[in-house]
């Protein structure tokens, strides 16, 4: 299920970027979620991924060695994203992914400490 969508292509490492013009029926047919977007007047879709850190086995049941972050953007402008907008979003991806990784690691550490030490001590 997870691999049959744009993020599936990203987490396998096959692509670092996926884009689709959702005004084109051929591109809409690639993934079921694209049809939902097109039905809601989304005209263009961009997704990016950055892989980082050490190999992890957390998601090995989905894909071997997944590590990193991915995110997507959509536009409802009739012209979709301009080249300038697309390039600007792509430039933000490394910083957003680093922040995502830091937040994810912080949440994981907090949960582990709370589970073993209790919520009050774990929070400290």
pLDDT tens-digit profile of 43-67? 999 999 887 765 555 555 555 555 6
Rounded to 10 degrees, what is the CA torsion of 123, 70, 89, 44? -130
pLDDT at 1: 47
DSSP, collapsed to helix, strand or coil, labels residue 47 as strand
In this prediction the pTM is 0.73
More confident residue, 98 or 81: 81
- Model pLDDT for residues 13-48, shown as the tens digit of each residue: 777 888 999 999 999 999 989 999 999 999 999 999
């Amino acid at each position: 299920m997870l691999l049959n969508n744009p993020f599936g292509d990203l987490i396998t490492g096959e692509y670092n970027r996926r884009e689709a013009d959702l005004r084109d029926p051929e591109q809409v047919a690639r993934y079921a979620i694209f049809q939902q977007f097109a039905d809601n007047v989304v005209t263009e879709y961009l997704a990016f991924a950055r892989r980082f850190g050490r190999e992890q086995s957390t998601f090995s049941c989905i894909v071997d060695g997944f590590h990193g972050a991915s995110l997507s953007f959509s536009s409802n402008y009739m012209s979709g994203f301009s080249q300038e907008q697309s390039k600007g979003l792509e430039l933000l991806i490394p910083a957003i992914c680093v922040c995502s990784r830091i937040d994810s690691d912080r949440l994981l550490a907090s949960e582990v400490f709370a589970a073993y030490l209790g919520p009050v001590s774990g929070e400290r």
